[in-house]
Structure 1
Amino acid sequence: MMDKRTIVIMVVCLLILVGGNYVANWIFPPIPKRPTPATPTHAVSNVVTTVAAATATATNEPTVSSPAPSTTPAERPPEQIVALSNDYLRVEFTSWGGGIRKVELLRHKANGHGHVVLNADAPAPALGLTGLPGADTNAVFTLEPSSPTTMVMRAGQVTKTVSLGKDYLLDARIEGVNASSASVVVGTVGPTFAKEPPLYLNVDWQDGPKWNNRDLNVVTKRAGKGQNREPIHARWVAVKSQYFAMVLTGATNATAVTYAPVVLPPLADWKAKEPPHGVTALAQWPTSVGGVLTFQLYAGPKEYDRLAALGERQQEVMDFGSWMDAYSGLFGLALFKGMAWCHKLAPNYGVAIILVTILLKIIFWPIQAKSIQAMKDMQKFQPQMQKIREKFKDDPQRMNQEMMKLYKEHKINPFSGCLPMLVQLPVLFGFYKVLSNAIELRGVPFLWIKDLSQPDTVATIAGFAINPLPVVMTLTMIWQQKLTPSTGDAQQQKMMMFMPLIMLFFFYSTASGLVLYWTAQQFLSIGQQWWSMRQTTPPAPAPAPKAKK
């Protein structure tokens, strides 16, 4: 019969397999259903408009479109939209609120539907002001392009000048603010593809040495409790999705941040019953002499080198180390750098992941070799251990004492087999963070995999996705277990067979790049296991005969 410990472990494994979805919903609860979009507070103006899309042009000349008049807000003239562009961005400016209506990323395709668009269908334009009657997000600004890449917007005494840089950067200067501080809209982000998890929609800021993060679930809860305004001391505030971000950096530190959930129109490939939700944020900055505010806005992909070059630790939005910060953050950045270096040697990121895995195996080879040798040593003593189990099966305490005595006498570490897994867990978590946030993998194919940032789905049967790579990974884990020296009784060996199933559950819907890493790691471990097991090991010494009385 099974002992109590084995039964408990098997029950826990079964609960993980069966109740995983319930646990996930408890940790990351779904967004509460709302019958209608909530009306934003005074901090985020509710601008509801139906606007005809401006036609993109191939040149950098400003393009102007005059959409149909809107009935809300009341008594406002028709919205005027002027678009400026460079080689990376097409930015639409709006007269309603005098800010950025949306940003089209010309070098990043959406999932089969044009380019990725940031700040689309936002409740207020980015760089809009709140709390300033006559110049806030409800005001009507005039739009005057002063050059192919510079826009001037005026309302009352306030003048906003926004210039496009060479890539994803925009420089903004706001003059004539008749107040000691002003709240500026950072932007709005929503899912860029249908299956993007809500936990990737975030508001971030760097408060001194501390990086702060509020995902969509937290934003929704705090907004419902009226706790969505926080005092901060941060040079920049960002809203971000899984692969893209809008980062607003001020000349001085912001003193407060306000955030709220928003309901957005469905995406082209949206199949869920509930509409997509997003996050919008604004931050309060003190004005300088003359009522001037100066900003730099980054609107683009979450590329580590570009963000790091901004100079205020904006690369923290990559979120390489929010889990097990002391370990996964360190490993995450190192793995990202290693993967980028390997990509210089290989033309494909799938090959780069395999090369990084080989390098990691070389680094951890001595640790795993020592673990394999320890398991082989324990296997030599299995007959003696089995005799102890049989002799003291009715006295567990005495059996454990005799086992520890045997371990101590022959210098056996019964936990050495766990060492490789413990060492690799931070690496696994680090790789998870890297591959979950690295835009470099977005849309990159490898073998039959269409996108390394998504599961390797090859077909769908009755709504169930068929992902072959996690199945291959599971089979390699079972194969490795067959090669591993037996160090426990038959019941414990059967119990360990649940581990591949647990890993299959957790890996089945993750990015195929991560599954590729773990699968390659398993194949390399099988090779090391096979090589190590072929090395001859001296037999265990026979137990010393008891002295005759």
Structure 2
Amino acid sequence: MDKKSIIGIAVVAVLFLGFAYFNSQQQKEYLEQKAAYEAYVDSVAAAARAAAPVADSLASGNGVQAEVAAAEAAAAVRERQVETLGESLTAAREAEAEEFIVENDVMAVLFSTRGGQIKGVTLKDYTQYGPRGKRDRKIEMMDPATARFGLSFYLKNGLKNVPVNTLDYVFTAQPVVGEADGAKSVVMRLPVAEGAYLEYRYLIYDTAAPERDYLVDFDVRLVNMAPEMANQTQIQIDWANTTFQNEKGFQNENMYTTLSYRFPDETSIEELGMSEGAKSKNISTQVNWVAFKQQFFSSVFIAPDNVSYANLAFDTAAPESSLLKTFTAQMGVPYTPQTEGYDFAFYFGPNKYSILKKIGEPGGADIYLERLVPLGWGIFGWVNRWCVIPVFDFLRNYIGSFGIIIFILVLLVKLVISPLTYKSYVSMAKMRLVKPQIDELAKKYPKPEDAMKKQQATMELYKKAGINPMGGCIPMLIQMPILIAMFRFFPASIELREQPFLWADDLSSYDSIVNLPFSIPFYGDHVSLFALLMAVSLFGYSWFNYQQTASSQPQMAGMKFMMVYMMPIMMLFWFNSYSSGLCYYYLLSNIFTIGQTLVIRRMVDDNKIHAIMQANAAKKSKGKKSKFQQRYEELMRQQEAQQRAKRK
């Protein structure tokens, strides 16, 4: 390594360590500010407690003296607050909060002047799975009692810095105004001093375009605030809410509910992962957006210019409660005296791939919100994004029943791989026809030390007959990415939510024909008919496949119990609480595969295959050996010679 490379590495290392130290100092400063703010709140409360006994002691006297004492005590507390906060913030602290709702075609947003925040969001097109299967309540994105969004910063007061958390103050709300571009504007202000105020401006659109209408633009403006602000490098953001249970099964919904986030310039996203308890993570680098993600719905805070850091956490509620998870996110955005404001946005809506894919930054840059839909990694995600979803969306334009769409999807997959299925059957038929010759080779080379000769002779026989030993496995290998892609697609597809088919009332969740009075470990407290039929079809397919392969591949005999019996039972336990649409897909796939094999069996004549094999063998026996075959045979001879030498 030359001198320039070493210097370059050293400079990068210094910059990285410096950046990490700077961010750690910012978080340390935030914690100190938070402690100071809590001390301030305690001091105000102590003043109120000190004044209360005076009023109480005089309350036993005549009414006039009691009222005077109470007024004097209240005045003393207020005077201290005015000295600390100023008249404007003291008045905002004392004001009564109001709530109001602003709607568009897809959602109703509940605002509160306490903190100038969004306290609730109702989605009009989706319903919650309630007790006894009732769906008479719209989806609520958060519990208004626990929802909070506040900014924390410091104001100057002489030689002291006064901490301010917007959640403690009541904003003044301007009348809701309709904008020329079809948006409704909600403006709320927090007066800080004469001519200086903090302004929140929300924009809610109604354009009949879901990717726009589920978004709420959130602009923060610091109007004439620079002279009032203390020396600080960060403004802190505190965002939290508790989500409700919306789906049929708590365990399954909880498995897909987590806290997600994206780093700038990354095409993938990160998650805290699944947990039935609590999880947290402190991120000291920039984050582009943070999502409180449920199985089918998400609340997302988007910062186009990124937040400086994010401390993220969630805690899981009890299964018997109506709640699911409590999310918290503490973030920071840079501040300088020149800062005039920040442009943020919220997304409150479904985890629908076609909607999330179209959401980007104001400049058109992709922020990859569609990654909230867990389609799988690598090839499995590619199959879903480029094959399954386009075909699914195309069929939805013409077919109303999702059960029929899944049927057609299975049919298309089977048609695409049918040439491979045909070759697989022919390959197995050839191996079945050469089985007597394989048995003769086993008799000719019975000794373990002749294993190399036996293998060489077997490969030579396969080559002459035109048999590919892997030919029977290729269709399964081709189908595997599709089957796994479907395993990820169906439980994450909101299109199947609330879609009935036959006895299933919701293809995105399990179907239950019997509710058990007890719970079976790893199985559950219900019987899913689609899962049961899928397991039966898998047993039939495994038995049928075993009959086809066992005669030509003796090693398959030892796998009979696992393939024919154990695997269907395992799948039944595993899929009993999974999406009924997924079980229905696997059921059809097994039935179609058996049907394909039966049709191909009637089309294929073993005598013709045997004649072709003999012709191939005669042709290849006269032909010249390829260089690869010569090298392979030479390698086999060398290995056999080495084994003889070892035995001596």
Do Structure 1 and Structure 2 share a fold, with TM-score over 0.5?
Answer: yes
C-alpha contact (below 8 Å) 2:237/2:331 kept by paired residues: yes
Q: Which residue of 2 aligns with 1:510?
A: 578
Letter in 1 for 2:310: V
How far apart are residue 481 of structure 1 and its match? 3.4
Deviation of the 1:174 alpha carbon: 0.8
Higher relative contact order (CA 8 A, sep 6+): 1
**1:358-377 equivalent positions in 2, closer than 5 A:** 358-377=411-430
Q: Give, in angstroms, the shift of residue 283 of structure 1.
A: 3.4
Shift of 1:424: 1.6
Corresponding residue for residue 106 of structure 1: 124
Spell out the pairing of 1:134-533 with structure 2 (5 A cutoff): 135-147=164-176, 149-155=184-190, 156=192, 157-166=197-206, 167-176=213-222, 178=229, 180-185=233-238, 187-188=240-241, 190=243, 191-193=245-247, 194-195=249-250, 196-217=253-274, 223=280, 228-262=281-315, 271=320, 276-286=324-334, 289-311=338-360, 312-321=366-375, 323=376, 325-333=377-385, 334-389=387-442, 395=448, 397=451, 400=455, 402-463=457-518, 464-484=525-545, 485-486=548-549, 487-489=552-554, 490-497=557-564, 498-533=566-601
Verify: 1:80 aligned to 2:98, yes or no: yes
Instruction: Among all aligned residue pairs of Structure 1 and Structure 2, give the percentage whose two residues are the same amino acid.
Output: 22
Give the aligned residue type for 2:474.
Answer: L
Q: Shift of residue 151 of structure 1?
A: 2.7
* Cα pair 2:189 2:198 within 8 Å, conserved: yes
Displacement after TM superposition at 1:521 (Å): 1.6
Tell me, in whole angstroms, the C-alpha distance in 2 between the residues paired with 1:467 and 1:150: 48
Q: Is there any run of 5+ residues in structure 2 with no aligned partner, and where?
A: 1-32, 39-92, 130-134, 155-161, 178-183, 207-212, 361-365, 519-524, 619-648
* Structure 1: distance between partners of 2:298 and 2:594: 41
1:339-364 deviation digits (Å, cap 9, x = unpaired): 11111121122221221222211211
Bigger radius of gyration: 2
Deviations 1:452-482, CA, capped at 9 Å, x for gaps: 0001111112333111112222222233334
**SS state at 1:141 partner:** coil
RMSD across aligned positions (CA):
3.3
Amino acid corresponding to residue 367 of structure 2 in structure 1: R
- Secondary structure of the residue that 1:170 maps to in structure 2? strand
CA distance in 2, matches of 1:389, 1:197: 55
Q: CA 1:337 to 1:283, structure 2 compared with 1: closer, same or farther past 3 Å?
A: farther
| Mapped pair 1:116 → 2:139 | yes
More helix by share: 2
Shift of 1:378: 1.2
Q: Distance in 2 between matches of 1:284 and 1:316?
A: 25
The 1:292/1:462 distance shift into structure 2, 3 A limit, reads: same
Moved more, 293-302 or 79-88: 79-88
Unaligned runs of at least 5 residues, structure 1: 1-40, 47-74, 545-549
SS at match of 1:462: strand
1:120 to partner: Cα distance: 1.6
- Report the Cα distance in structure 1 between the residues aligned to 2:144 and 2:445, rounded to whole angstroms: 72
Cα shift at 1:135: 4.6
Paired with 2:173 and 2:313, the residues of 1 have a C-alpha distance of: 31
Q: Deviation digits for residues 182-220 of structure 1, max 9, x if unmatched?
A: 333455353433521244322222431342222354796
- Paired with 1:368 and 1:375, the residues of 2 have a C-alpha distance of 11
Task: Decide whether the 8 Å contact of 1:320 with 1:328 is kept in 2.
Answer: no
Query: Relative to 1, partners in 2 of residues 1:442 and 1:187: Cα closer, same or farther, differing over 3 Å?
Result: farther
> AA paired with 1:239?
F
Q: How many residues align?
A: 463
